[in-house]
Structure 1
Amino acid sequence: MVPRLVVAAPASGAGKTTIATGLMAALVRSGLDVSPHKVGPDYIDPGYHALATGRPGRNLDPWLTSEDLIVPLFLHGAADADIAVIEGVMGLYDGMRGAGDFASTAHVARLLQAPVVLVVDATGQGRSVAALVHGFASYDTRVRLAGVILNRVGSARHEEVCREALESTGIPVLGAIPRTADAATPSRHLGLIPVAERRTEAAEAISALATLIDSSCDISGLVAQAHTVGPIAGTPWNPADALAALGTGEWDARPSGGTPLGARPLSISLSNAGTLGDGHLSVGLSNAGTLGDGHLSVGLPNVGTLGDGPSSIGLPNVRTLGDGPSSSGSAGAGPRVAVAGGAAFTFGYAEQVELLAAAGAEVVTFDPVRDEDLPEGTRGVILPGGFPEMYAEELSANERLRARMTAFVANGGVVVAECAGLLYLSQELDGHPMCGIVDAKAEMTGRLTLGYRDAVAVRESVMTRAGERYRGHEFHRTVCTPPGNPVWRWVDGGDGYASGRVLASYLHLHWAGSPVLAARFVEECS
């Protein structure tokens, strides 16, 4: 059983990330091993969680991966942890448009059978806070509201008024946090500034937050609430099993959590793979052990800062190779896959790298801002999301790597790019020359494109087959022109560029919900 607690709020902007991250750091300071999780498709908050806990920040999103995978993915991420803290998204009951509270914090809390602590911004209210909390507690009795943390309390008198009012609700106040500059984290057009861009400052801020939470919250009371949970039924997800199911017909190309489309099972040839005693797939990664049930455990450390090389983007199962880029350590058993990192490419889900490694790839990282060449022996490149618009000048100035990328594609290299990666592959970004691999020009706009997408692949690409459906999301303020011949279509739009062995689009996918993507990518690289 993993003790667990959900940190939620009535609305965005109440201070969830500040308090959840500070709580994680305070618990670590007290000697606990904390497993961090984030509801929804957010990439930035998990970076702060990882810095606070020393564990990969992991996302729990019923839309991107399916309801059935929430508990397995949680148990996978929380393995051997003393406690898990799950930060919510938006308001407690805010989910998909037109689907009730599906994919909301409340939805995930119910699936995990976890108590919820509500962070309430007390600014501008006194006794009314009790009506607000009562409403959230009674709205859905399947969600257990275990306590309240009052945020941005103006004075001792203000705190007293709020506490007295909340006594009538029977819901305990587990913290009262004063207004303070120490609780602020800088933001810009897509949210908080990622850890990779301000690691030293972020570490200092998290330390200050731990002190703030420790002094203003009932840590023992919060831990006690986390321990009120019971065990949840489920088997921890692991990448080897997810890939093994592809060859048995247990999984085929489907919309995540939806109706299978009848695609034939994919046969994968994994390098250096054998079988465990119970028939599960064993991938021959160095420094890997087994769990008690015989499932594969990839016990490789997290990436740290790589000296003068690219900085860590928080990917698990990756280690350093001397002074060079980091590697999964699969001893050259399979194709080398280079994942872009550094300050400009920070958006990635931890399970993607785990699936690549389990499929036999040797995973390395590189920084397109700083590195002038791809890692030696690279057979495939993954360009994740991030903020290339903030580094357009530096990316453009690295002419040697841009030329190397063009040559890599011309020679048959496999490239998959999401959002930021699409911009990097374009002809130019805000007037700065980029790789020129995708025949489009990209520029910043004032319009935010944000939302879940039920996407259908309308033609074949390096990873998709026409007619397959995948669940993803978009999150950007740029546009590419011309729009090209879309790879993806959804109800009110579509996008994507595919040519040869290159696939680039704005669509973000969570590969744990569609493990066939990892299998196909590694197969292409092989």
Structure 2
Amino acid sequence: MSQPRIMIAGTQSGVGKTTLATGLMAAMSRREYIVQPYKVGPDYIDPGFHTVATGKISRNLDSWMVSKKHLLELFQHSSQQAQISIIEGVMGLFDGHRQGGGRGSSAEVAKILSTPVILIIDAQQMAQSGAALTYGFQNYDPDLNLVGVILNRVSSKSHYRMIKEPIEELGVAVLGHIPQQEELELPERHLGLVPTAESNSLVEYLDELAASIEEHLDLDKIYQLAAQAEELDLVEEELFAVSENEAEISIAVARDKAFNFYYEDNLDLLRARGVKIKYFSPLQDNSLPPGISGIYIGGGFPESFLKELSENKSIQRSLKVAISQGMPTYAECGGLMYLTKKIVNFDQESYPMLGIIPGSIVMQDSLQAMGYVEATVETDNILLPAGAKIRGHEFHYSRLLNLSNKLDSAYSLKGGKGEDGRWEGFVKDNLLASYLHLHFASNSTVIDNFIEACQKFKQGSS
């Protein structure tokens, strides 16, 4: 499998990875390359920018949640039509799970996918030390293919030459620089970067960013380095193996400004088994799509749209009827919040929600949960039986109050921010709601179990 691909990594968080990677994606797309974007790790917000920049849905590459074999298969499946794949790294190049020896790091993903790496260095207040920094990253892991450097936040042409020449003496290509331009920095909010659904001027911004990238970086050289990536051996399909018996069911998936955090691979894996995805909007639609046998409400920012969500009583009634009738429903993070009695926002204003989960959500000023976790299933549910294990990720500023019955909890968690063994989530009949973001390839039996639950519901209601 020969395909041009490159990773944009950073020496650390905050060096401009997302801005430069998104700009490179936009610039290559404007050169009429078919660009497939990717993000290392569990992030949902950065991929939204990638998607707008390229017109292709960005995918997550997570080597902590997903095995090496399955990661290769997911990449192989999603990159088939691309002329170049551009992967944005996470944190610093070698930063991974703190207890996993670098598992999940950009470096690990780059090695699994035999992908050349371009390192971004924040050049503010730096001169020849840029070469020392490059040398360290170049030699820390000899199995990593570091092929070039981009210098960000450079103050002048003389400053650029001062850093560039010593780095090139190491045999590492300097592929350009970006002058310090604060107007090209992406805005931020409480979960990180502002999601694309809330960025009305994003297209105009991306045009400016792509123009700056085109002016200051050597795009021809970057494509040449990407094209020199080693050929990947085709892996035998396992996740996407065609089933003899297609599911022949439809699942309603919430997708709008309030709910848009999904690993696209999860939806692809459902489609591969014959599931038809029907999108709906809890903000705007009056009812669920017709002919569905299951519901999937992903994460997002419901706290930013509380008035609209609380006032749409029609879709609330439709959801309540479906869930009360036993329709299999999987709600993740923002979806969990939506199903509770009420959400109290950052200004202490309270808005009623569906009331299916007997608890309330209160937004907090500080991060309440963050990081990778290993989950053990406490209660049989539509995805997994009790005792099964799965890996996931938490990241939220809200707290779920008045729900402490262990008998109804979905998981006990190990890792992340909190005590090991803590209860999490809610299970009742065919409803599973949790703060935990799951990648279905972490334990692919969840796909078959979810489909089986939906098929049983379809058969029972027909």
TM-score under structure 1 length normalisation: 0.81
| Distance (whole Å) between structure 2 residues aligned to residue 76 and residue 359 of structure 1 | 14
| Distance (whole Å) between structure 2 residues aligned to residue 128 and residue 455 of structure 1 | 43
**Which residue pairs with 1:41 in the alignment?**
42
CA contact (8 A) 1:269 1:523 kept: no
1:387 to 286, 301, 310: 301
Structure 2 residue 333 is matched with structure 1 residue 419: yes
| Distance (whole Å) between structure 1 residues aligned to residue 318 and residue 340 of structure 2 | 15
Structure 2 residue 406 is matched with structure 1 residue 477: no
| Distance (whole Å) between structure 1 residues aligned to residue 332 and residue 236 of structure 2 | 28
**Which residue pairs with 1:441 in the alignment?**
360
**Which residue pairs with 2:51 in the alignment?**
50
Within a 5 Å distance, the mapping from 1:231-250 to structure 2 comes to 231-235=231-235, 237=237, 240-241=240-241, 244=243
1:464 to 374, 384, 404: 384
Deviation sequence 1:421-479 (CA, Å, 0-9, x none): 00000011112100000011001112321100111101201221011110111011111
CA contact (8 A) 2:73 2:239 kept: no
CA contact (8 A) 1:345 1:385 kept: yes
**Which residue pairs with 1:270 in the alignment?**
246
**Which residue pairs with 2:433 in the alignment?**
504
| Distance (whole Å) between structure 2 residues aligned to residue 508 and residue 240 of structure 1 | 21
**Which residue pairs with 1:77 in the alignment?**
78
**Which residue pairs with 2:347 in the alignment?**
none
1:399 to 300, 313, 316: 313
| Distance (whole Å) between structure 2 residues aligned to residue 463 and residue 228 of structure 1 | 42
Count matched residues.
439
**Which residue pairs with 2:156 in the alignment?**
155
| Distance (whole Å) between structure 2 residues aligned to residue 192 and residue 42 of structure 1 | 10
Structure 2 residue 408 is matched with structure 1 residue 489: no
CA contact (8 A) 1:182 1:209 kept: no
Within a 5 Å distance, the mapping from 1:349-364 to structure 2 comes to 349-364=263-278
2:254 to 328, 340, 343: 340
User: Could you list the runs of 5+ residues in structure 2 that have no partner in the other structure?
Assistant: 345-349, 415-419, 456-462
Structure 2 residue 451 is matched with structure 1 residue 450: no
By how many angstroms is 1:239 displaced? 5.0
1:519 to 433, 448, 454: 448
Q: CA RMSD in A?
A: 1.6
By how many angstroms is 1:8 displaced? 0.2
Deviation sequence 1:393-442 (CA, Å, 0-9, x none): 22111122222221221122221000000000001111210000001100
By how many angstroms is 1:220 displaced? 1.0
By how many angstroms is 1:87 displaced? 0.7
By how many angstroms is 1:85 displaced? 0.8
CA contact (8 A) 1:73 1:236 kept: no
By how many angstroms is 1:391 displaced? 1.1
CA contact (8 A) 2:413 2:424 kept: no
**Which residue pairs with 2:147 in the alignment?**
146
Is the partner of 1:427 in helix, strand or coil?
strand
For 1:344, give the aligned amino acid. A
**Which residue pairs with 1:371 in the alignment?**
285
By how many angstroms is 1:137 displaced? 1.0
**Which residue pairs with 2:32 in the alignment?**
31
| Distance (whole Å) between structure 2 residues aligned to residue 446 and residue 379 of structure 1 | 38
By how many angstroms is 1:238 displaced? 7.0
By how many angstroms is 1:15 displaced? 0.6
Is the partner of 2:284 in helix, strand or coil?
coil
**Which residue pairs with 2:222 in the alignment?**
222
**Which residue pairs with 1:330 in the alignment?**
none
Greater CA drift, 16-25 or 167-176:
167-176
By how many angstroms is 1:240 displaced? 4.0
| Distance (whole Å) between structure 2 residues aligned to residue 494 and residue 213 of structure 1 | 47
Is the partner of 2:397 in helix, strand or coil?
strand
By how many angstroms is 1:358 displaced? 2.6
Is the partner of 1:470 in helix, strand or coil?
strand
Deviation sequence 1:321-351 (CA, Å, 0-9, x none): xxxxxxxxxxxxx332110011111110112
By how many angstroms is 1:32 displaced? 1.4
Is the partner of 1:512 in helix, strand or coil?
helix
| Distance (whole Å) between structure 1 residues aligned to residue 401 and residue 305 of structure 2 | 20
| Distance (whole Å) between structure 2 residues aligned to residue 237 and residue 11 of structure 1 | 35
By how many angstroms is 1:236 displaced? 6.8
By how many angstroms is 1:235 displaced? 2.4
Greater CA drift, 509-518 or 92-101:
509-518
CA contact (8 A) 1:472 1:510 kept: yes
| Distance (whole Å) between structure 1 residues aligned to residue 100 and residue 441 of structure 2 | 22
CA contact (8 A) 1:73 1:237 kept: no
| Distance (whole Å) between structure 1 residues aligned to residue 35 and residue 179 of structure 2 | 25
| Distance (whole Å) between structure 1 residues aligned to residue 194 and residue 402 of structure 2 | 30
Is the partner of 1:49 in helix, strand or coil?
helix
Is the partner of 1:504 in helix, strand or coil?
strand
| Distance (whole Å) between structure 2 residues aligned to residue 236 and residue 31 of structure 1 | 31
Is the partner of 1:460 in helix, strand or coil?
coil
By how many angstroms is 1:141 displaced? 1.1
User: Could you list the runs of 5+ residues in structure 1 that have no partner in the other structure?
Assistant: 245-267, 272-333
CA contact (8 A) 1:416 1:502 kept: yes
Is the partner of 1:503 in helix, strand or coil?
strand
**Which residue pairs with 1:19 in the alignment?**
20
Specify whether residues 33 and 237 from structure 1 end up closer, same or farther in structure 2 by C-alpha distance, changes over 3 A only.
farther
TM-score under structure 2 length normalisation: 0.91
For 1:512, give the aligned amino acid. A
